Structure 1
């Protein structure tokens, strides 16, 4: 088992954890992220007292930017399947959505691609006014691999899910809340206190009541594991094709995966062709 370096766990109480994510200048998701998150989810599944978990970012501009396109993607495909029988990335997402504790994303900054997929698999999403969410994969020529299609269709409806995933644009916090992509937007400076107060409220309830209620909501909104396998297979077929190489190279030349440049407004810039 690897040491947790990207996800720092602070146990506020036996029932309430705060988990802070930090990985490089823009919080990219890489194979190590997936491995560490899988281990963290296992801890969450096995803890008999844990009732609520808040996920937050150490970076005010990037909650989770997206998958690191320079990392070893083959490792994601060749690592042994997880407990659900799925490859590690979809396995972790599906298990995260099912843990017997309430999970909350406190989103400041950008959550795109695999970062958006992560927050979509937490139970509740609260956002600060500067949060930005999006699924830019189609702009890279790929099908999203973490099945945001299923989650978004359930949350926002078919038409809006199509707009988000196929359009590949950024969704600022206010519009994301109007669509149902996030639960609500808190005013500047109020997100952390609001989420902490809400989490402490949940932590004060019986775990049996919280987890038992969540089971019914999960049953009513369940997405078959096979859909996740199909989405990951589609991503593997479509990502990194030679016909997309020049476009991806131009994105890196304009600051992809750097704190400045096109990462700040990727949803707009990804559609530009040079």
Structure 2
């Protein structure tokens, strides 16, 4: 975490080889949010990745705790949804600087940020849960329609396919696709410009926009319950097992080109 300029923080994900999201990721993000919420100076936080090919791969399903083992965070939501809500609602501007893959919960994280900028050559985004027999649990079903429109949100959620940076930009999945060589400078310029303004005014504008664009917390909580219910169904268990057998959560072709593998899980799962 870089806080050289007290008005602008940078938080880098560095959990090789894939930047999988696990309990440690969530607890460290929660601790960072505690500090961000209490800091009177910080105006902007930029999230990026130190792991080539992956911004945040997805949730580590092999290490997923049972729903009964998780405690609600300050928002009253389960830990992962709590982190997402605090990023979306917090008294700071959050920017995702995306290089590499952000699927599933990684995509949910990106969607919770206030702004999303993607490197054109290496970014891949997706909500692949449908191909695993699951319902996404981090409320992308409630964030995507506001950004992309209903039809494109349904396409993203119901096909589970991979979206490169240019198509994601056209759909509104990200705000802008930038050549990778210029991404750092572009995001730095945006962040420094925002950080130069009055914090109270920035927070008030963010809150007003949030009033008409963010999903209610009770709606978000319903998606978490739907995720756990879908994971317990026979189809979800079979498809997850088939994906893990093919390499889910491990370096390899499935993680690099997941969208191409999902339809084939139907045969592999024997459904």
Scaled by the length of structure 1, what TM-score is found?
0.93
What is the CA-CA distance between 1:77 and the residue it aligns to?
A: 4.1
Provide the residue aligned with 1:128 in structure 2: 119
Residue 156 of structure 2 is aligned to residue 186 of structure 1:
no
Task: Tell me the distance in 1 between the aligned counterparts of 2:236 and 2:48.
Answer: 33
CA distance in 1, matches of 2:225, 2:168: 28
CA distance in 1, matches of 2:182, 2:52: 14
Change (3 A) 1:245 1:220: closer
Partner of 1:170: 162
Q: Paired residue for 1:104, among 77, 95, 99?
A: 95
Shift of 1:41: 1.3
Q: Could you tell me how far 1:145 is from its partner in structure 2?
A: 0.3
Kindly report the root-mean-square deviation, in angstroms, between the aligned alpha carbons of the 2 structures. Answer: 1.3
Scaled by the length of structure 2, what TM-score is found? 0.94
Q: CA deviation at 1:197?
A: 1.4
Deviation at 1:203, TM superposition (A): 1.2
2:250 maps to 258
**Equivalent residue number for residue 91 of structure 1:** 82
Question: Post-superposition shift, 1:259?
Answer: 2.1
Match of 2:199 in 1: 207
Counterpart pick for 1:141 among 133, 136, 160? 133
CA pair 77-66 structure 1, distance change in 2 beyond 3 A: farther
Alignment of 1:37-76 (within 5 A): 37-74=29-66
1:62–1:165 distance in 2 versus 1, CA, 3 Å: same
Greater fraction of residues in helix: 2
1:16-40, CA deviations, whole angstroms, 9 ceiling, x for partnerless residues?
A: 0011011130000011211111111
Runs of 4+ aligned residues of structure 1 deviating over 6 Å after TM superposition are none
Structure 1 position 236, deviation (Å): 0.7
Question: Which ranges of structure 1 fall in alignment gaps of 5 or more residues?
Answer: 1-8
Alignment deviations for residues 73-96 of structure 1 (CA, whole Å, 9 cap, x no partner): 21x542221111111111111111
The farther-off stretch of 208-217 and 100-109 is: 208-217
Return the offset for 1:260. Answer: 1.8
Distance 1:242 1:125 in 2: 36
Q: Are residues 48 and 199 of structure 1, via their aligned partners in 2, closer, same or farther at CA, if it must alter by over 3 Å?
A: same
Shift, 1:187, TM fit = 1.0
Q: Distance in 2 between matches of 1:112 and 1:77?
A: 25
Distance (Å, rounded) in 2 between the aligned partners of 1:165 and 1:202: 32
Which residue pairs with 1:119 in the alignment? 110
Q: Per the alignment, do residues 248 and 254 of structure 1 end up closer, same or farther by CA in structure 2, a change over 3 Å counting? A: same
- 3-state SS in 1 of match to 2:102: strand
Q: Give the corresponding residue for 1:156.
A: 148
Structure 2 gaps of 5+ residues are none
Quick check: 104-113 or 16-25, which moved more? 16-25
Partner secondary structure for residue 239 of structure 1: helix
Give the whole-Å Cα distance in 1 for the aligned partners of 2:255 and 2:68: 26
Superposed CA offset, 1:93-116 (max 9, x none): 111101111100000000000000
